[in-house]
């Protein structure tokens, strides 16, 4: 999953009570913590795309995407957040840890079986919704849409720019998602996927990381202009 991961990012137990524990841009990093680790490993050629026995592309993501690693990454992400934002307390720790862990559960729905239980484990999990590229696209774009619509309701734009900005970001993310994920899913379905035509792993890893930073930067700018509706001060 790619943009669908940002769906849970708007979940925050304190939203609606004035002061959110976790800023949306921080949640944007948390939900992609596993893929940020993955991006670095792909960049250095440690992880990357491979073909499975059916000739379909899967990911060799033994280290970043095992169930065990996902729990470790979630706890580390929560720990980093708690260290940087001590006033958020254990609730902040758990919000970030659960957001980070949500990544594995959502990946489980769409990935072709490539998610191991532990690094090097033989059992590979994934319900392969990406084999139905348009349905998977609707799910991911829909999750992000619901998240943005909900967040728009819980915040007030200081001016119109912060409404347009939010939906321009939505459109941008959907387009990037289409180019990165859906396009490939359609090729796989039509049997025209060509492994040799894929970008080298260094480029793939860097573009993953660039997109995560870019989405996070843009939402942080939008967030400045959208304070919580329930803010008292």
Q: Which residues bind Zn ion (CB under 5 A)?
A: 35, 107
In whole angstroms, the minimum distance from the beta carbon of 215 to Zn ion comes to 14
Toward Zn ion, which CB reaches closer, 49 or 156?
Answer: 49
Toward Zn ion, which CB reaches closer, 108 or 169?
Answer: 108
Toward Zn ion, which CB reaches closer, 107 or 223?
Answer: 107
Cα–Cα separations (whole angstroms), residue 119 to 106, 107, 134, 167, 205: 19, 16, 31, 39, 20
Burial class of residue 134, CB neighbours in 10 A (0-12, 13-18, 19+): exposed
Distance from C-alpha of 180 to C-alpha of 231, rounded to nearest angstrom: 38
In whole angstroms, the minimum distance from the beta carbon of 204 to Zn ion comes to 13
Toward Zn ion, which CB reaches closer, 20 or 205?
Answer: 205
Handedness of CA 76, 87, 229, 219 (dihedral sign): negative
Toward Zn ion, which CB reaches closer, 166 or 204?
Answer: 204
Nearest partner of 107 among 152, 39, 59, 153, judged by Cα: 59
Toward Zn ion, which CB reaches closer, 35 or 47?
Answer: 35
> Does residue 225 contact residue 157 with C-beta atoms inside 8 Å?
yes
Handedness of CA 79, 81, 86, 92 (dihedral sign): negative
Which phi and psi angles does 219 have, rounded to 5°? -65, -30
In whole angstroms, the minimum distance from the beta carbon of 5 to Zn ion comes to 7
In whole angstroms, the minimum distance from the beta carbon of 104 to Zn ion comes to 8
In whole angstroms, the minimum distance from the beta carbon of 6 to Zn ion comes to 12
The Cα angle at residue 99 between residues 34 and 219, in degrees rounded to 5:
85
In whole angstroms, the minimum distance from the beta carbon of 53 to Zn ion comes to 22
């Amino acid at each position: 999953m790619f943009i669908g991961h940002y769906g849970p990012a708007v979940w925050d137990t304190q939203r609606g009570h004035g002061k959110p524990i976790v800023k949306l841009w921080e949640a944007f990093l948390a939900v992609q913590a596993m893929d940020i680790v993955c991006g670095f490993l792909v960049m250095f050629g440690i992880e990357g795309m491979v073909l499975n026995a059916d000739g379909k592309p899967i990911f060799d993501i033994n280290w970043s995407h095992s169930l065990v690693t996902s729990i470790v990454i979630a706890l580390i992400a929560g720990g980093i957040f708690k260290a940087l934002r001590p006033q958020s307390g254990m609730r902040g720790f758990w919000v970030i840890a659960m957001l980070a862990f949500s990544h594995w559960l959502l990946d489980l729905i769409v990935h072709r079986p490539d998610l191991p239980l532990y690094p090097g484990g033989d059992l590979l999990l994934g319900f392969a919704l990406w084999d139905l590229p348009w349905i998977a696209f609707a799910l991911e774009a829909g999750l992000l849409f619901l998240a943005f619509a909900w967040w728009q309701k819980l915040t007030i734009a200081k001016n119109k720019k912060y409404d347009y900005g939010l939906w321009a970001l939505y459109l941008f993310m959907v387009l990037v998602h289409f180019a990165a994920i859906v396009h490939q899913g359609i090729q796989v379905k039509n049997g025209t996927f060509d492994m040799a035509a894929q970008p080298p792993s260094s480029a793939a890893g860097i573009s993953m990381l660039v997109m995560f930073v870019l989405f996070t930067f843009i939402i942080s700018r939008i967030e400045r202009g959208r304070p919580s509706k329930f803010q008292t001060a």
